């Protein structure tokens, strides 16, 4: 029929331009103009040739349709905790630095935060007793782990490998009575490390806890509240000073911990460390994002490696295809 081939060519070109506009909308493709062509840009209207009944055509203009849900191409549900954390940090670094601006600026930030918070953050605190000559060697006697919301997910007394010489009750809160229900160190160590695996671990002077567990956690997945200058700054204390958990809790959370002579509560200390982390989470993660090395582009998920292949139908989800037709 007359005009058949030209209509097919026009439709193919239209779909190409609409898809290019969608990529530009998402920031996955840099807008560019060529002589004799007009590339639709987000927010502008794009004219299209639409078929009518009877084989005639009519010109119509409409806004480039947006997909109902935009997801990040560099973040998949099966992404590793490290890549999710890094992506979360990068998203935060794109905000204005304020909690309000970052938390509500993009669905990607909210999605990434939702992926991280429920199961990827834990806070830990350990209490030690003295063993060895004159009780100078510190060994684990209690370990508590809480989740992002501060709920206790682990709290057990632990029997040290060496005989206890000093219970240090005034600071540890550990007594001889507690050791009756204690579990062997090796058993506790296996249980705790299973919880910490692939987690982002929060704690105060957390290197002491890891030392008691005879364990080393990856640095990029460790958040030590004793080493955050922004916390000291908020508390009006010297930025580089080593401030106790008790002092930070009093200045920033307006609560008293570690009071009395019955010793510390490892549950309370872990919960306090998590509260302090959440207080400066956005700013801290933003600063961490700046210090992270750049990620190498993925040949599959990074469209800048070859933008032309993304114009092929097989790279487009069904809902996006439907919205662009």
Consecutive 10-residue averages of pLDDT for the chain (325 residues): 56 81 75 51 43 47 48 45 50 42 41 54 96 93 95 96 93 92 96 95 95 94 91 87 89 85 85 94 86 58 47 52 51
Domain range spanning residue 275? Answer: 122-291
Per-residue pLDDT, 94:
46
Q: Domain with 237 in it: what CATH number?
A: 3.30.420.10
d(CA 189, CA 197): 12
d(CA 71, CA 26): 9
The verdict on residue 13 lying in a domain is: no
pLDDT in tens, 203-233: 999 999 999 999 999 999 999 999 888 898 8
The verdict on residue 296 lying in a domain is: no
Per-residue pLDDT, 42:
43
HEC secondary structure over 26-95: CCCCCCCCCCCCCCCCCCCEEEEEEECCCCCEEEEEEECCCCCCCCCCCCCCCCCHHHHHHHHHHHHHCC
What backbone torsions phi and psi does residue 26 show, to the nearest 5 degrees? -80, -5
DSSP 285-313: HHHHHHHSPPPPPPTTT-GGG-GGGGGSG
Say if CB 202 and CB 117 are below 8 A apart: no
Task: Identify the helix (H) or strand (E) that includes residue 145.
Answer: strand 137-147
The verdict on residue 195 lying in a domain is: yes
The verdict on residue 66 lying in a domain is: no
Inter-axis angle of helices 206-213 and 185-196, nearest 10: 130
Structure-block tokens of residue 208? 């002491």
Token pair 């206790």 is at which residue? 152
What backbone torsions phi and psi does residue 155 show, to the nearest 5 degrees? -160, 100
The verdict on residue 30 lying in a domain is: no
The verdict on residue 140 lying in a domain is: yes
Query: In a 10 Å sphere around its CB, with 0-12 CB exposed, 13-18 middle and 19+ buried, how is residue 303 labelled?
Result: middle
d(CA 39, CA 10): 15
The verdict on residue 179 lying in a domain is: yes
DSSP 202-269: EESSHHHHHHHHT----GGGEEEGGG-HHHHHHTTS-TTS---HHHHIIIII----S-SSS---HHHH
d(CA 181, CA 186): 15
Token pair 């961490």 is at which residue? 288
- 55 dihedral zone (left: phi>0; alpha: psi -120 to 50; beta): left
d(CA 7, CA 48): 11
* Residue in 179, 172, 280, 181 with CA at minimum distance from that of residue 223: 280
Per-residue pLDDT, 29:
72
Structure-block tokens of residue 46? 């794009």
DSSP state of 149: T
Per-residue pLDDT, 51:
47
Domain count, the chain: 1
Other beta carbons within 10 angstroms of residue 32's beta carbon come to: 9
The verdict on residue 107 lying in a domain is: no
What backbone torsions phi and psi does residue 121 show, to the nearest 5 degrees? -110, 135
């Amino acid at each position: 029929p007359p005009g058949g081939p030209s209509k097919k060519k026009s439709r193919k070109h239209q779909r190409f331009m609409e898809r290019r506009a969608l990529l530009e909308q998402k920031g996955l493709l840099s807008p560019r103009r060529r002589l004799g062509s007009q590339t639709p840009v987000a927010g502008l209207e794009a004219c299209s040739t639409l078929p009518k009944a009877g084989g005639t055509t009519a010109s119509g203009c409409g806004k480039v349709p947006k997909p109902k849900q935009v997801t990040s191409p560099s973040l998949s549900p099966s992404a590793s905790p490290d890549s999710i954390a890094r992506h979360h940090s990068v998203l935060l670094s794109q905000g204005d630095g304020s909690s309000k601006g970052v938390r509500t600026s993009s669905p990607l930030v909210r999605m990434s935060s939702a992926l991280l918070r429920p199961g990827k953050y834990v806070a830990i605190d350990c209490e030690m007793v003295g063993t060895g000559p004159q009780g100078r060697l510190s060994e684990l006697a209690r370990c508590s782990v809480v989740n992002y919301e501060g709920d206790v997910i682990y709290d057990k007394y632990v029997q040290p490998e060496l005989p206890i010489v000093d219970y240090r009750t005034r600071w540890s809160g550990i007594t001889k009575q507690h050791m009756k229900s204690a579990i062997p160190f090796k058993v506790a160590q296996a249980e705790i490390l299973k919880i910490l695996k692939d987690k982002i671990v929060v704690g105060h002077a957390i290197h002491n806890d890891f030392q008691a567990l005879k364990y080393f956690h990856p640095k990029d997945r460790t958040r030590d509240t004793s080493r955050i200058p922004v916390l000291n700054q908020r508390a009006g204390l010297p930025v580089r000073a080593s401030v106790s958990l008790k002092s930070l809790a009093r200045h920033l959370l307006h609560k008293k911990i570690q009071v009395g002579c019955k010793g510390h509560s490892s549950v309370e200390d872990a919960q306090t460390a998590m509260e302090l982390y959440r207080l400066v989470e956005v700013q801290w993660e933003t600063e961490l994002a700046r210090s992270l090395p750049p990620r190498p582009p993925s040949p599959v998920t990074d469209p800048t490696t070859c933008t032309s292949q993304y114009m092929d139908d097989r790279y487009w989800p069904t809902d996006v295809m439907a919205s662009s037709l």
